Amino acid sequence: MTIGVLFVCTGNICRSPTAVGVFRTMVRRAGLEDAFQIDSSGTSVGHIGQTASPLAVEAAKRRGYDLSAHRARPLTNEDIERFDYPLAMDRSHLAVMRWMAPRSLVERPQMFLAFADDVRSPEVPDPFGGRARDYERALDLIEKGCVGLLSTLIPLVKTAT
């Protein structure tokens, strides 16, 4: 069984590709690459095909995460059906995802930071257009969310094997 995880933000150039880089690294370190399908997308079509934001790439690289292969793509209706965990970086993404979801799957999309422990806000603030420290703050939250997500999903992986 493969568990599909989709991270969703606005342009798919900052938060969601960062989450993919962090989560893939954590999954790889846990020896569970074959147990997951990990991807990201955006609710906006303004950045399709672009690489991750240079400040996101730099922040991730400083912590050992690689975003170099990323190319932005839009969220599709099929994504919500295909991925077991479509995860929103903020409430606006959650609203779009639930609007796009088939009626039977309207509750499937969730807030990403619902998986994070010790986080006050349910949203990862958008660092786009900000300074390097804004990307670092977003990365701090993304790491916490990924730790919580992986610890939630590991028992499902072990049950399936």
Structure-token pair, residue 4: 């599909």
- Spell out the SS3 assignment of 12-36: CCCHHHHHHHHHHHHHHHCCCHHHE
For residue 117, indicate whether it is catalytic: no
16 with 8: CB under 8 angstroms?
A: yes
For residue 126, indicate whether it is catalytic: yes
Q: How far apart are CA 128 and CA 11, in angstroms?
A: 9
For residue 118, indicate whether it is catalytic: no
- Marked catalytic residue, from 126, 134, 137, 140: 126
Catalytic residue positions, numbered: 9, 15, 126
